[in-house]
Structure 1
């Protein structure tokens, strides 16, 4: 070797610095798969148990079952006022109106909006998820708003508790074709959810 040459001239095979290869976006890292799995699981849980969740926890932005939440709150308020001694006529008329709104929200406007009198009570008895005897014990709904005083607070509290059963009970499972058919019929009739 020649002592006069500089050290750079003595190594003839120098190479430039090489970049590392780019990181591909697919397939994602295992952490992203875990996050995706957790989101799918949370979505399934919210979809599967949407009615019980909507009754117990009002989540802002999620409007599944809000009529149930409002109806349960209105029934609790009505029950408190009936126990404090509110006029039975006013309580019976408010309960009758609230019960009709609950029935229309559960089963649609065409199913029950035009029913009055004993036909209304028979329809309630036929569609009640808890089997309350509406035909016999629901007479105060028909006559109390117009009759002289005679309805007791206990009678009205029994009706309020039966109406709470309407709110908390889940709808029976229907086959997919029946659900689709009932939605299309109610939509064409101008009905739908209230």
Structure 2
């Protein structure tokens, strides 16, 4: 009888150190967070992830241009489309290069400036003349295909990454240099 011992409980499982599976999960989460942070600019125009991209001027401008293209294809008046495109283009240019660079330009000076600073090399002076003529043209004389080409050229201003001259506000968003 003296050789018998009392029954002992099993020791509880400690919470630390973590099992290898938890370490792998933590590493995977960190790698995913780093990848999202690293490619946030690429994702901001292609995949709407509200927590990461909402608020950049590029995001808002790309959405406004997509909406303008949709309305132009749906039959919105060409004069209205041209006016809205002109306004959006000026706002995009000011967001990219700052208000002092382009805010006071009108007419041919505006088209020359657009052609000089366009990141895609679009021929604004030749093909963008519709922006100057649209307010005075008779209804139905403005080609919708030409407006869609201009919308596509304006998207080039949004998608091409270059550091901005100064941080600016556009719509309700804030940007920092290079974003």
Which of 55, 75, 79 is matched with 1:89 structurally? 79
CA distance in structure 2 between the aligned counterparts of 1:37 and 1:64, rounded to whole angstroms? 27
Structure 1 residue 112: Cα displacement:
4.1
Which of 34, 47, 50 is matched with 2:37 structurally? 47
Q: Any conservation in 2 of the 1:112–1:120 contact (CA below 8 Å)?
A: no
Moved more, 50-59 or 155-164: 50-59
Post-superposition Cα deviations, 1:24-49, rounded to whole Å, max 9, x if no partner, equal 55443211211111111111221222
Which of 97, 105, 116 is matched with 1:116 structurally? 105
Post-superposition Cα deviations, 1:66-119, rounded to whole Å, max 9, x if no partner, equal 5444433432332344345433322211101111222334x2543545232234
Flag the structure with more relative contact order, 1 or 2, with Cα contacts below 8 A and sequence separation at least 6.
2
> Could you list the runs of 5+ residues in structure 1 that have no partner in the other structure?
1-10
Query: Against the structure 1 CA distance between its residues 65 and 56, is the aligned structure 2 distance closer, same or farther, given a 3 Å change threshold?
Result: farther
Moved more, 84-93 or 13-22: 13-22
Please report the TM-score for the alignment, with normalisation by the length of structure 1: 0.66
Tell me which structure has the larger Cα radius of gyration: 1
Q: Any conservation in 1 of the 2:98–2:166 contact (CA below 8 Å)?
A: no
Q: Any conservation in 1 of the 2:57–2:175 contact (CA below 8 Å)?
A: no
RMSD over aligned CA atoms reads 3.4
Query: Against the structure 1 CA distance between its residues 21 and 96, is the aligned structure 2 distance closer, same or farther, given a 3 Å change threshold?
Result: same
Which of 145, 148, 163 is matched with 1:154 structurally? 145
CA distance in structure 2 between the aligned counterparts of 1:182 and 1:148, rounded to whole angstroms? 37
Structure 1 equivalent of residue 175 of structure 2 = 193
Please report the TM-score for the alignment, with normalisation by the length of structure 2: 0.71
